[in-house]
Chains A and B, each alone.
Chain A
Amino acid sequence: MKTDISTNIAGISLRNPVMLASGTAGYGEDISKYCDLNRVGAIIVKGIALKPTNGNPPVRICETPSGMLNAIGLPNIGVDSFIKDKVPFLRKFDTRVIVNIFGSTIEDYGEVASRFNGVEGVDGLEVNISCPNVKEGGIAFGTDLEATRLVVRTVRGSTTLPIIIKLSPNVTDIASFARVCEEEGADALSVINTLLGMSIDTETWRPRLGNITGGLSGPAIRPVALRMVWQVCNAVKIPVIGMGGIVTSNDAVEFFLAGASGVAVGTANFINPAASLEIITGLMAYLEARGLNNITEIIGKVRVAF
Protein backbone atom coordinates (compact mmCIF):
# COMPACT_ATOMS: atom_id res chain seq x y z
CA MET A 1 0.00 0.00 0.00
CA LYS A 2 1.33 3.36 -0.98
CA THR A 3 2.22 5.75 1.79
CA ASP A 4 -0.23 8.65 1.80
CA ILE A 5 0.84 11.99 3.15
CA SER A 6 -1.90 14.02 1.52
CA THR A 7 -4.00 15.93 3.98
CA ASN A 8 -6.79 18.44 4.40
CA ILE A 9 -6.31 21.46 6.58
CA ALA A 10 -9.05 24.03 7.09
CA GLY A 11 -10.87 22.62 4.09
CA ILE A 12 -7.82 23.00 1.87
CA SER A 13 -6.69 19.70 0.40
CA LEU A 14 -2.92 19.43 0.22
CA ARG A 15 -0.80 16.92 -1.67
CA ASN A 16 1.45 16.79 1.36
CA PRO A 17 1.50 18.57 4.72
CA VAL A 18 4.72 20.54 4.13
CA MET A 19 4.31 24.25 3.40
CA LEU A 20 6.60 27.19 2.79
CA ALA A 21 6.25 29.62 5.69
CA SER A 22 5.23 33.20 5.13
CA GLY A 23 8.10 35.67 4.83
CA THR A 24 10.60 33.05 3.73
CA ALA A 25 9.42 32.38 0.20
CA GLY A 26 8.44 35.87 -1.00
CA TYR A 27 5.65 35.74 -3.56
CA GLY A 28 7.08 32.54 -4.97
CA GLU A 29 9.14 33.83 -7.87
CA ASP A 30 12.64 33.75 -6.42
CA ILE A 31 12.29 30.45 -4.61
CA SER A 32 10.70 28.74 -7.63
CA LYS A 33 14.11 28.77 -9.35
CA TYR A 34 15.42 26.42 -6.67
CA CYS A 35 12.36 24.64 -5.32
CA ASP A 36 9.70 23.01 -7.50
CA LEU A 37 6.54 24.61 -6.16
CA ASN A 38 4.49 21.83 -7.76
CA ARG A 39 5.87 19.51 -5.10
CA VAL A 40 5.19 21.49 -1.91
CA GLY A 41 1.92 21.22 -0.02
CA ALA A 42 1.33 24.95 -0.12
CA ILE A 43 3.11 28.25 -0.33
CA ILE A 44 2.17 30.82 2.28
CA VAL A 45 3.19 34.09 0.66
CA LYS A 46 4.79 37.07 2.35
CA GLY A 47 2.37 39.36 4.19
CA ILE A 48 0.01 41.49 2.12
CA ALA A 49 -1.67 44.71 3.28
CA LEU A 50 -4.07 47.17 1.70
CA LYS A 51 -1.33 49.62 0.71
CA PRO A 52 2.31 49.05 -0.27
CA THR A 53 4.87 49.33 2.53
CA ASN A 54 8.67 49.61 2.39
CA GLY A 55 9.69 47.75 5.51
CA ASN A 56 12.29 48.74 8.09
CA PRO A 57 15.62 50.51 7.51
CA PRO A 58 18.74 48.29 7.75
CA VAL A 59 20.25 46.46 9.56
CA ARG A 60 17.37 44.01 9.20
CA ILE A 61 18.90 40.66 10.14
CA CYS A 62 21.64 39.18 12.26
CA GLU A 63 22.67 35.66 13.04
CA THR A 64 22.43 34.29 16.59
CA PRO A 65 23.32 30.85 17.98
CA SER A 66 21.43 28.31 15.82
CA GLY A 67 19.06 31.02 14.70
CA MET A 68 18.62 34.48 13.33
CA LEU A 69 16.94 37.68 14.33
CA ASN A 70 14.99 39.64 11.78
CA ALA A 71 13.27 42.98 11.75
CA ILE A 72 12.29 43.12 8.09
CA GLY A 73 9.16 45.09 8.91
CA LEU A 74 6.68 43.60 6.43
CA PRO A 75 7.56 45.21 3.12
CA ASN A 76 4.70 44.45 0.72
CA ILE A 77 3.48 45.50 -2.69
CA GLY A 78 -0.12 46.08 -1.64
CA VAL A 79 -3.15 43.88 -2.25
CA ASP A 80 -4.03 45.31 -5.68
CA SER A 81 -0.57 44.77 -7.18
CA PHE A 82 -0.38 41.36 -5.57
CA ILE A 83 -3.62 40.18 -7.16
CA LYS A 84 -2.78 41.73 -10.50
CA ASP A 85 0.94 40.92 -10.79
CA LYS A 86 1.73 37.99 -8.50
CA VAL A 87 -1.31 35.72 -8.32
CA PRO A 88 -1.13 34.88 -12.07
CA PHE A 89 2.41 33.60 -11.55
CA LEU A 90 1.41 31.51 -8.53
CA ARG A 91 -1.56 30.05 -10.42
CA LYS A 92 0.84 28.40 -12.85
CA PHE A 93 1.82 25.92 -10.17
CA ASP A 94 -0.11 22.89 -9.06
CA THR A 95 0.07 23.80 -5.40
CA ARG A 96 -2.07 25.58 -2.83
CA VAL A 97 -1.65 29.29 -2.33
CA ILE A 98 -2.30 30.71 1.10
CA VAL A 99 -2.04 34.48 1.37
CA ASN A 100 -0.74 35.97 4.58
CA ILE A 101 -2.53 39.24 5.35
CA PHE A 102 -1.98 42.04 7.84
CA GLY A 103 -3.41 45.45 8.60
CA SER A 104 -2.87 48.48 10.76
CA THR A 105 -6.46 48.59 11.98
CA ILE A 106 -9.12 45.95 12.51
CA GLU A 107 -11.05 47.41 9.58
CA ASP A 108 -7.93 47.01 7.39
CA TYR A 109 -7.86 43.31 8.13
CA GLY A 110 -11.46 42.99 7.03
CA GLU A 111 -10.89 45.06 3.91
CA VAL A 112 -7.79 43.22 2.72
CA ALA A 113 -9.45 39.86 3.43
CA SER A 114 -12.53 40.81 1.40
CA ARG A 115 -10.39 41.69 -1.61
CA PHE A 116 -9.57 38.01 -2.05
CA ASN A 117 -13.16 36.90 -2.35
CA GLY A 118 -13.56 35.37 -5.78
CA VAL A 119 -9.85 35.66 -6.65
CA GLU A 120 -9.03 32.48 -8.50
CA GLY A 121 -5.85 30.80 -7.41
CA VAL A 122 -6.06 31.79 -3.75
CA ASP A 123 -6.96 28.89 -1.50
CA GLY A 124 -6.91 30.45 1.93
CA LEU A 125 -5.80 33.32 4.11
CA GLU A 126 -3.30 33.29 6.92
CA VAL A 127 -3.97 36.19 9.24
CA ASN A 128 -0.83 37.71 10.73
CA ILE A 129 -1.60 39.09 14.17
CA SER A 130 1.84 38.41 15.48
CA CYS A 131 4.63 40.22 13.61
CA PRO A 132 6.94 41.52 16.36
CA ASN A 133 8.54 44.20 14.19
CA VAL A 134 5.81 46.61 13.21
CA LYS A 135 3.05 48.36 15.08
CA GLU A 136 0.75 47.54 12.20
CA GLY A 137 -0.14 43.98 11.56
CA GLY A 138 1.36 42.98 14.51
CA ILE A 139 1.84 41.93 17.94
CA ALA A 140 -0.51 44.58 19.36
CA PHE A 141 -3.39 42.47 18.04
CA GLY A 142 -1.86 39.11 18.73
CA THR A 143 -0.98 39.68 22.38
CA ASP A 144 -4.37 41.03 23.43
CA LEU A 145 -7.23 38.55 23.72
CA GLU A 146 -9.97 41.05 22.87
CA ALA A 147 -8.07 42.50 19.89
CA THR A 148 -7.44 38.96 18.65
CA ARG A 149 -11.15 38.22 19.00
CA LEU A 150 -12.12 41.32 17.01
CA VAL A 151 -9.61 40.69 14.21
CA VAL A 152 -10.72 37.10 13.76
CA ARG A 153 -14.41 38.06 13.93
CA THR A 154 -13.90 40.82 11.36
CA VAL A 155 -11.90 38.65 8.95
CA ARG A 156 -14.40 35.80 9.38
CA GLY A 157 -17.19 38.16 8.43
CA SER A 158 -15.31 39.44 5.39
CA THR A 159 -14.30 36.29 3.60
CA THR A 160 -15.59 32.93 2.49
CA LEU A 161 -12.05 31.56 2.21
CA PRO A 162 -10.61 29.34 4.93
CA ILE A 163 -8.81 31.47 7.52
CA ILE A 164 -5.73 30.43 9.45
CA ILE A 165 -4.65 32.64 12.34
CA LYS A 166 -0.91 32.94 12.94
CA LEU A 167 -0.37 33.13 16.67
CA SER A 168 2.27 35.01 18.58
CA PRO A 169 4.49 33.07 20.97
CA ASN A 170 5.11 36.28 22.88
CA VAL A 171 2.26 35.66 25.31
CA THR A 172 1.99 33.91 28.67
CA ASP A 173 -0.78 31.49 27.71
CA ILE A 174 -0.96 30.75 24.01
CA ALA A 175 -3.81 28.25 24.51
CA SER A 176 -6.21 31.01 25.53
CA PHE A 177 -5.50 32.83 22.26
CA ALA A 178 -6.05 29.63 20.33
CA ARG A 179 -9.44 29.15 22.02
CA VAL A 180 -10.53 32.69 21.16
CA CYS A 181 -9.66 32.11 17.51
CA GLU A 182 -11.58 28.85 17.47
CA GLU A 183 -14.62 30.49 19.09
CA GLU A 184 -14.62 33.21 16.45
CA GLY A 185 -14.65 30.76 13.58
CA ALA A 186 -11.02 30.36 12.58
CA ASP A 187 -10.46 27.27 10.42
CA ALA A 188 -6.90 26.57 11.52
CA LEU A 189 -3.96 28.03 13.43
CA SER A 190 -0.33 28.65 12.52
CA VAL A 191 1.89 28.15 15.54
CA ILE A 192 4.28 29.98 15.99
CA ASN A 193 5.49 33.33 14.67
CA THR A 194 8.96 34.50 15.75
CA LEU A 195 9.98 35.11 19.34
CA LEU A 196 10.90 38.66 20.26
CA GLY A 197 14.66 38.91 20.78
CA MET A 198 17.67 41.21 20.80
CA SER A 199 21.40 41.15 20.18
CA ILE A 200 24.09 43.72 21.00
CA ASP A 201 27.46 44.24 19.32
CA THR A 202 29.99 44.22 22.17
CA GLU A 203 32.51 46.26 20.16
CA THR A 204 30.21 49.16 19.27
CA TRP A 205 27.72 48.72 22.14
CA ARG A 206 24.94 49.14 19.57
CA PRO A 207 21.99 46.82 18.97
CA ARG A 208 22.79 44.59 16.01
CA LEU A 209 19.40 45.34 14.44
CA GLY A 210 18.33 48.78 13.25
CA ASN A 211 14.94 48.15 14.84
CA ILE A 212 16.74 47.30 18.16
CA THR A 213 14.59 44.19 18.68
CA GLY A 214 13.55 41.54 16.19
CA GLY A 215 11.96 38.16 15.74
CA LEU A 216 14.03 35.07 16.50
CA SER A 217 13.68 32.08 14.19
CA GLY A 218 15.59 28.94 13.27
CA PRO A 219 16.48 25.77 15.18
CA ALA A 220 17.05 27.84 18.35
CA ILE A 221 13.28 28.25 18.81
CA ARG A 222 12.22 24.72 17.88
CA PRO A 223 11.67 23.40 21.43
CA VAL A 224 9.58 26.46 22.30
CA ALA A 225 7.54 26.12 19.11
CA LEU A 226 7.00 22.43 19.70
CA ARG A 227 5.82 23.01 23.27
CA MET A 228 3.36 25.65 22.07
CA VAL A 229 2.04 23.45 19.26
CA TRP A 230 1.44 20.70 21.79
CA GLN A 231 -0.36 23.08 24.17
CA VAL A 232 -2.52 24.54 21.39
CA CYS A 233 -3.40 21.10 20.01
CA ASN A 234 -4.60 20.12 23.46
CA ALA A 235 -6.69 23.28 23.73
CA VAL A 236 -8.59 23.36 20.42
CA LYS A 237 -10.14 21.03 17.86
CA ILE A 238 -9.24 23.03 14.74
CA PRO A 239 -6.08 21.90 12.92
CA VAL A 240 -2.69 23.39 13.71
CA ILE A 241 0.14 24.09 11.30
CA GLY A 242 3.36 23.75 13.27
CA MET A 243 6.37 25.90 12.51
CA GLY A 244 9.51 27.11 14.21
CA GLY A 245 13.00 25.95 13.33
CA ILE A 246 12.09 22.94 11.19
CA VAL A 247 15.14 22.00 9.12
CA THR A 248 14.95 18.21 8.70
CA SER A 249 12.17 15.66 8.28
CA ASN A 250 12.81 14.47 11.81
CA ASP A 251 12.11 17.97 13.07
CA ALA A 252 8.83 17.86 11.17
CA VAL A 253 7.95 14.47 12.67
CA GLU A 254 8.28 15.98 16.16
CA PHE A 255 5.62 18.54 15.28
CA PHE A 256 3.27 15.91 13.87
CA LEU A 257 3.70 13.81 17.00
CA ALA A 258 2.85 16.88 19.08
CA GLY A 259 -0.41 17.17 17.16
CA ALA A 260 0.24 19.40 14.16
CA SER A 261 -1.75 18.49 11.04
CA GLY A 262 0.76 20.26 8.83
CA VAL A 263 4.13 21.97 9.09
CA ALA A 264 5.72 25.01 7.54
CA VAL A 265 9.39 25.40 6.71
CA GLY A 266 10.75 28.90 7.22
CA THR A 267 14.32 29.87 8.01
CA ALA A 268 15.58 26.60 6.49
CA ASN A 269 14.56 27.96 3.06
CA PHE A 270 17.25 30.63 3.45
CA ILE A 271 19.97 28.03 3.93
CA ASN A 272 18.64 25.61 1.37
CA PRO A 273 15.75 26.80 -0.82
CA ALA A 274 14.93 23.16 -1.58
CA ALA A 275 14.80 22.19 2.11
CA SER A 276 11.03 21.60 2.00
CA LEU A 277 11.43 19.03 -0.78
CA GLU A 278 14.03 17.14 1.23
CA ILE A 279 11.70 17.21 4.22
CA ILE A 280 8.85 15.75 2.12
CA THR A 281 11.10 12.95 0.87
CA GLY A 282 12.37 12.31 4.39
CA LEU A 283 8.86 12.23 5.79
CA MET A 284 7.80 9.56 3.29
CA ALA A 285 10.89 7.52 4.14
CA TYR A 286 10.20 7.88 7.87
CA LEU A 287 6.67 6.52 7.49
CA GLU A 288 7.66 3.75 5.10
CA ALA A 289 10.48 2.59 7.35
CA ARG A 290 7.93 2.09 10.13
CA GLY A 291 5.30 0.43 8.00
CA LEU A 292 2.93 3.38 8.37
CA ASN A 293 0.60 4.11 5.48
CA ASN A 294 -0.76 7.46 6.40
CA ILE A 295 0.53 10.66 7.97
CA THR A 296 -2.48 10.61 10.32
CA GLU A 297 -0.92 7.62 12.04
CA ILE A 298 1.63 9.89 13.70
CA ILE A 299 -0.39 13.07 14.25
CA GLY A 300 -0.80 13.74 17.95
CA LYS A 301 0.66 10.35 18.86
CA VAL A 302 3.25 11.60 21.30
CA ARG A 303 3.32 9.09 24.15
CA VAL A 304 2.72 11.10 27.27
CA ALA A 305 2.63 8.97 30.38
CA PHE A 306 0.25 10.12 33.06
Chain B
Amino acid sequence: MKARVFSNSCLQGTYYKLIFLPPVRVNIIPGQFVMIRVCAADSLSDPLLSRPFSIHRQALDGSIEIIYKVVGKGTDLLSHLRKGDYIEFLGPLGNGFPLMSIPPPSSPYKGGARGGESLFSDEVIIVAGGIGVAPMLSLIEAIRASGADNNIKVFLGGRGKEDLLCVDELKKIANEVVLTTNDGSAGIKGYVTDALHTCLLNGHGQQTRTTVYSCGPTPMLKKILELTEHASINTYVSLESVMACGIGLCMGCVVKKKDNSGYFLVCRNGPVFDGKDIEV
Protein backbone atom coordinates (compact mmCIF):
# COMPACT_ATOMS: atom_id res chain seq x y z
CA MET B 1 0.00 0.00 0.00
CA LYS B 2 1.28 3.46 -0.82
CA ALA B 3 1.10 6.12 1.85
CA ARG B 4 1.87 9.81 1.68
CA VAL B 5 4.45 11.36 3.97
CA PHE B 6 3.00 14.09 6.16
CA SER B 7 6.21 15.07 7.82
CA ASN B 8 9.63 13.66 8.54
CA SER B 9 11.82 15.47 11.00
CA CYS B 10 14.86 14.97 13.16
CA LEU B 11 13.96 14.61 16.82
CA GLN B 12 17.49 14.66 18.17
CA GLY B 13 20.85 13.23 17.06
CA THR B 14 20.17 10.37 14.63
CA TYR B 15 16.55 9.90 15.74
CA TYR B 16 13.70 10.89 13.45
CA LYS B 17 9.94 10.98 13.48
CA LEU B 18 7.99 10.08 10.34
CA ILE B 19 4.29 10.79 10.03
CA PHE B 20 2.39 9.27 7.11
CA LEU B 21 -1.22 8.93 6.06
CA PRO B 22 -2.43 5.51 4.93
CA PRO B 23 -5.00 5.62 2.10
CA VAL B 24 -7.53 3.87 4.32
CA ARG B 25 -7.94 4.27 8.03
CA VAL B 26 -6.53 1.39 10.04
CA ASN B 27 -7.10 0.48 13.66
CA ILE B 28 -4.02 0.10 15.75
CA ILE B 29 -3.26 -1.66 19.00
CA PRO B 30 -0.19 -0.30 20.84
CA GLY B 31 2.76 -2.60 20.16
CA GLN B 32 1.82 -3.44 16.59
CA PHE B 33 4.24 -2.65 13.78
CA VAL B 34 4.39 -1.66 10.13
CA MET B 35 6.70 -2.66 7.30
CA ILE B 36 8.01 0.35 5.40
CA ARG B 37 9.97 0.63 2.19
CA VAL B 38 11.12 3.80 0.51
CA CYS B 39 9.84 3.63 -3.03
CA ALA B 40 12.34 5.81 -4.83
CA ALA B 41 13.06 4.40 -8.28
CA ASP B 42 16.76 4.04 -7.64
CA SER B 43 16.11 1.94 -4.55
CA LEU B 44 14.11 -0.67 -6.44
CA SER B 45 16.50 -3.43 -5.45
CA ASP B 46 18.98 -1.96 -3.00
CA PRO B 47 18.00 -1.86 -0.24
CA LEU B 48 15.70 -4.66 -1.27
CA LEU B 49 13.57 -5.43 1.75
CA SER B 50 11.08 -3.43 3.76
CA ARG B 51 11.98 -2.58 7.33
CA PRO B 52 9.82 -3.24 10.39
CA PHE B 53 8.99 -0.27 12.63
CA SER B 54 7.03 -0.19 15.82
CA ILE B 55 4.07 2.18 15.60
CA HIS B 56 4.64 5.17 17.83
CA ARG B 57 1.22 6.77 17.72
CA GLN B 58 -1.83 7.25 15.63
CA ALA B 59 -3.26 10.74 15.31
CA LEU B 60 -6.98 11.49 15.24
CA ASP B 61 -6.92 11.89 11.46
CA GLY B 62 -5.62 8.33 11.14
CA SER B 63 -2.06 9.24 10.28
CA ILE B 64 0.59 6.97 11.72
CA GLU B 65 3.75 8.10 13.49
CA ILE B 66 6.92 6.09 13.76
CA ILE B 67 10.17 7.10 15.39
CA TYR B 68 13.37 5.59 14.14
CA LYS B 69 17.10 5.74 14.43
CA VAL B 70 19.27 6.02 11.33
CA VAL B 71 21.44 2.92 11.47
CA GLY B 72 21.97 1.87 7.85
CA LYS B 73 21.11 2.41 4.24
CA GLY B 74 17.36 1.79 4.62
CA THR B 75 16.84 4.20 7.49
CA ASP B 76 19.18 6.74 5.89
CA LEU B 77 17.00 6.76 2.77
CA LEU B 78 13.94 7.07 4.96
CA SER B 79 15.41 10.10 6.74
CA HIS B 80 15.62 11.96 3.43
CA LEU B 81 11.91 11.72 2.66
CA ARG B 82 9.94 14.95 2.61
CA LYS B 83 6.34 15.94 2.90
CA GLY B 84 4.39 14.68 -0.12
CA ASP B 85 6.75 11.80 -0.86
CA TYR B 86 5.38 8.28 -0.84
CA ILE B 87 6.35 5.16 1.04
CA GLU B 88 5.25 1.56 0.59
CA PHE B 89 3.81 0.21 3.79
CA LEU B 90 2.06 -2.87 5.15
CA GLY B 91 0.26 -2.81 8.41
CA PRO B 92 -0.64 -2.70 11.15
CA LEU B 93 0.93 -6.11 11.71
CA GLY B 94 1.39 -8.49 14.62
CA ASN B 95 -0.10 -8.57 18.08
CA GLY B 96 0.06 -5.56 20.35
CA PHE B 97 0.37 -5.34 24.11
CA PRO B 98 -2.48 -6.90 26.08
CA LEU B 99 -3.98 -4.02 28.02
CA MET B 100 -3.88 -4.38 31.74
CA SER B 101 -5.81 -1.94 33.80
CA ILE B 102 -7.57 -1.69 37.10
CA PRO B 103 -10.98 -3.30 36.82
CA PRO B 104 -13.92 -0.97 37.19
CA PRO B 105 -15.31 -1.45 40.73
CA SER B 106 -18.25 -3.44 39.41
CA SER B 107 -16.37 -6.03 37.43
CA PRO B 108 -14.82 -9.13 38.93
CA TYR B 109 -11.07 -9.50 38.67
CA LYS B 110 -9.97 -11.81 35.93
CA GLY B 111 -6.39 -12.94 36.26
CA GLY B 112 -3.94 -15.19 34.48
CA ALA B 113 -5.70 -15.28 31.16
CA ARG B 114 -4.19 -14.74 27.73
CA GLY B 115 -5.36 -13.86 24.26
CA GLY B 116 -8.32 -11.57 24.18
CA GLU B 117 -9.40 -11.75 27.79
CA SER B 118 -8.41 -8.66 29.66
CA LEU B 119 -6.14 -8.89 32.61
CA PHE B 120 -6.00 -6.37 35.35
CA SER B 121 -3.19 -5.03 37.41
CA ASP B 122 -2.76 -2.22 39.90
CA GLU B 123 0.67 -1.11 38.92
CA VAL B 124 2.24 -0.84 35.50
CA ILE B 125 5.98 -0.71 35.05
CA ILE B 126 7.30 0.23 31.64
CA VAL B 127 10.92 -0.41 30.76
CA ALA B 128 12.27 0.97 27.51
CA GLY B 129 15.76 1.09 26.07
CA GLY B 130 16.65 3.64 23.39
CA ILE B 131 14.30 3.45 20.41
CA GLY B 132 12.34 0.83 22.39
CA VAL B 133 10.37 3.76 23.80
CA ALA B 134 8.53 3.98 20.46
CA PRO B 135 5.34 2.03 21.32
CA MET B 136 5.21 3.02 24.99
CA LEU B 137 3.55 6.42 24.77
CA SER B 138 0.52 5.06 22.95
CA LEU B 139 0.44 2.10 25.34
CA ILE B 140 0.20 4.47 28.32
CA GLU B 141 -2.39 6.55 26.49
CA ALA B 142 -4.45 3.41 25.89
CA ILE B 143 -4.22 2.40 29.53
CA ARG B 144 -5.30 5.89 30.57
CA ALA B 145 -8.07 5.95 27.98
CA SER B 146 -9.48 2.75 29.41
CA GLY B 147 -10.38 4.85 32.44
CA ALA B 148 -7.98 3.10 34.73
CA ASP B 149 -6.07 4.93 37.37
CA ASN B 150 -3.03 2.67 37.59
CA ASN B 151 0.23 3.78 39.00
CA ILE B 152 2.40 3.90 35.91
CA LYS B 153 6.12 3.98 36.40
CA VAL B 154 8.47 4.34 33.44
CA PHE B 155 12.12 3.34 33.29
CA LEU B 156 13.80 4.81 30.25
CA GLY B 157 17.43 4.07 29.48
CA GLY B 158 19.94 4.91 26.81
CA ARG B 159 23.65 5.03 26.15
CA GLY B 160 23.66 8.80 26.57
CA LYS B 161 21.29 11.75 26.93
CA GLU B 162 20.67 11.86 23.15
CA ASP B 163 19.20 8.34 23.30
CA LEU B 164 16.38 9.33 25.67
CA LEU B 165 13.31 10.15 23.60
CA CYS B 166 9.81 11.36 24.45
CA VAL B 167 10.86 12.29 27.98
CA ASP B 168 8.55 15.27 28.34
CA GLU B 169 5.53 13.45 26.95
CA LEU B 170 6.14 10.51 29.26
CA LYS B 171 6.46 12.78 32.27
CA LYS B 172 3.08 14.34 31.48
CA ILE B 173 1.22 11.05 31.39
CA ALA B 174 3.08 8.65 33.71
CA ASN B 175 3.16 8.86 37.49
CA GLU B 176 6.91 8.57 37.58
CA VAL B 177 9.71 8.53 35.01
CA VAL B 178 13.15 7.22 35.91
CA LEU B 179 15.93 8.02 33.44
CA THR B 180 19.21 6.17 33.16
CA THR B 181 22.22 6.58 30.88
CA ASN B 182 25.31 4.44 30.57
CA ASP B 183 27.56 7.49 30.45
CA GLY B 184 25.76 9.41 33.19
CA SER B 185 24.90 12.33 30.90
CA ALA B 186 21.28 12.25 32.14
CA GLY B 187 19.45 10.57 34.98
CA ILE B 188 21.03 7.75 36.94
CA LYS B 189 24.34 6.45 35.61
CA GLY B 190 24.07 2.79 34.67
CA TYR B 191 21.77 0.36 32.94
CA VAL B 192 18.01 0.77 32.99
CA THR B 193 17.79 -2.79 34.29
CA ASP B 194 19.86 -1.80 37.34
CA ALA B 195 17.25 0.83 38.17
CA LEU B 196 14.48 -1.72 37.66
CA HIS B 197 16.32 -4.15 39.92
CA THR B 198 16.57 -1.55 42.68
CA CYS B 199 12.87 -0.78 42.32
CA LEU B 200 11.94 -4.46 42.58
CA LEU B 201 14.25 -4.91 45.59
CA ASN B 202 12.38 -2.05 47.25
CA GLY B 203 9.27 -4.12 47.18
CA HIS B 204 7.56 -3.02 44.00
CA GLY B 205 5.56 -5.81 42.51
CA GLN B 206 5.44 -7.71 45.76
CA GLN B 207 2.22 -6.47 47.32
CA THR B 208 0.41 -5.29 44.27
CA ARG B 209 -0.61 -6.86 41.01
CA THR B 210 2.09 -5.52 38.76
CA THR B 211 2.61 -5.83 35.05
CA VAL B 212 5.83 -5.01 33.27
CA TYR B 213 5.84 -3.95 29.62
CA SER B 214 9.19 -3.70 27.92
CA CYS B 215 10.80 -2.95 24.61
CA GLY B 216 14.45 -2.48 23.76
CA PRO B 217 17.68 -4.30 22.94
CA THR B 218 17.70 -8.07 23.43
CA PRO B 219 20.28 -8.13 26.29
CA MET B 220 18.04 -5.64 28.16
CA LEU B 221 14.94 -7.81 27.63
CA LYS B 222 16.85 -10.89 28.73
CA LYS B 223 17.86 -9.17 31.98
CA ILE B 224 14.33 -7.87 32.59
CA LEU B 225 12.89 -11.36 32.19
CA GLU B 226 15.43 -12.72 34.66
CA LEU B 227 14.49 -10.06 37.20
CA THR B 228 10.74 -10.30 36.80
CA GLU B 229 10.66 -14.08 36.66
CA HIS B 230 12.50 -14.09 39.97
CA ALA B 231 9.94 -11.67 41.38
CA SER B 232 7.00 -13.53 39.76
CA ILE B 233 5.80 -10.47 37.87
CA ASN B 234 3.79 -10.70 34.66
CA THR B 235 6.00 -9.35 31.90
CA TYR B 236 5.34 -8.58 28.28
CA VAL B 237 8.21 -7.92 25.92
CA SER B 238 8.12 -6.45 22.45
CA LEU B 239 10.83 -8.08 20.36
CA GLU B 240 12.81 -6.63 17.54
CA SER B 241 13.96 -8.98 14.81
CA VAL B 242 15.36 -9.01 11.34
CA MET B 243 12.47 -9.90 9.04
CA ALA B 244 12.04 -9.91 5.29
CA CYS B 245 8.26 -9.78 4.97
CA GLY B 246 6.53 -9.09 8.31
CA ILE B 247 3.59 -11.33 7.38
CA GLY B 248 4.71 -14.89 8.06
CA LEU B 249 6.09 -15.80 4.65
CA CYS B 250 9.85 -15.77 5.08
CA MET B 251 9.98 -17.48 8.49
CA GLY B 252 13.13 -15.56 9.20
CA CYS B 253 12.14 -13.81 12.43
CA VAL B 254 12.15 -16.59 14.98
CA VAL B 255 12.37 -16.64 18.76
CA LYS B 256 12.77 -19.83 20.72
CA LYS B 257 9.78 -21.19 22.62
CA LYS B 258 10.43 -21.58 26.34
CA ASP B 259 9.18 -25.17 26.29
CA ASN B 260 11.78 -26.11 23.68
CA SER B 261 9.12 -27.16 21.21
CA GLY B 262 10.46 -24.98 18.42
CA TYR B 263 10.11 -21.36 17.44
CA PHE B 264 7.58 -18.55 17.33
CA LEU B 265 7.56 -16.12 14.43
CA VAL B 266 8.09 -12.62 15.79
CA CYS B 267 5.91 -11.12 13.05
CA ARG B 268 2.95 -13.47 13.32
CA ASN B 269 3.01 -14.62 16.96
CA GLY B 270 4.51 -11.36 18.31
CA PRO B 271 6.14 -8.91 18.31
CA VAL B 272 4.72 -8.74 21.84
CA PHE B 273 5.17 -11.92 23.84
CA ASP B 274 4.41 -13.02 27.35
CA GLY B 275 7.86 -13.39 28.88
CA LYS B 276 6.88 -16.83 30.18
CA ASP B 277 6.54 -18.19 26.65
CA ILE B 278 9.89 -17.32 25.11
CA GLU B 279 13.62 -17.73 25.53
CA VAL B 280 15.29 -14.48 24.39
A residues in contact (CB < 8 Å) with B = 24-26, 29-31, 33-34, 46, 54-55, 57-63, 65-68, 70, 72, 75, 218-220, 247, 267, 269-273
Contacts and interface: CB of A to CB of B under 8 A. Distances in A.
B244 interface: yes
15 contacts: A24-B249, A25-B249, A30-B248, A46-B251, A55-B263, A57-B254, A57-B256, A61-B252, A66-B45, A70-B252, A72-B252, A270-B250, A271-B48, A271-B245, A272-B88
Interface centre among B44, B47, B49, B248 (most CB of A within 10 A): B49
A55 B251 contact: yes
Interface of B: 37, 44-50, 88, 90, 241-245, 247-256, 262-263, 268
Contacts of B250: 24, 61, 70, 72, 270
A32 to B, nearest CB: 11
Contact of A60 (B88, B245, B252, B268): B252
A247 B43 CA distance: 13
Given A57-B256, A60-B254, A61-B252, A218 B48 contact: yes
Given A60-B254, A220-B45, 4 more contacts: A55-B263, A58-B254, A247-B45, A269-B249
Given A26-B248, A60-B252, A68 B48 contact: yes
Sort A-B residue pairs by CB-CB distance and give the 9 closest, nearest first: A61-B252, A30-B248, A270-B245, A54-B262, A270-B244, A66-B45, A219-B45, A60-B252, A66-B46
B251 A267 contact: no
A57 B49 CA distance: 21
A60 B48 contact: no
A267 B48 contact: yes
Contacts of A272: 88
B41 to A, nearest CB: 12
A26 B251 CA distance: 8
A218 B256 contact: no
A274 B46 CA distance: 20
Given A24-B250, A61-B252, A54 B45 contact: no
B251 A75 contact: yes
B279 to A, nearest CB: 11
Nearest to A24: B249
Contacts of A220: 45
A253 to B, nearest CB: 17
Nearest to B260: A54
Contacts of A57: 254, 256
Contact of B48 (A26, A33, A34, A66): A66
B242 A273 contact: no
Contact of B245 (A65, A75, A218, A273): A273
A291 to B, nearest CB: 29
Contact of A67 (B48, B88, B242, B247): B48
Nearest to A31: B249
Contacts of B46: 65-66
B215 to A, nearest CB: 18
Contacts of B252: 60-61, 70, 72
Nearest to A208: B242
Contact of B263 (A25, A62, A75): A75
A82 to B, nearest CB: 15
A29 B247 CA distance: 10
A30 B241 CA distance: 19
A46 B50 CA distance: 22
A65 B47 CA distance: 7
B102 to A, nearest CB: 36
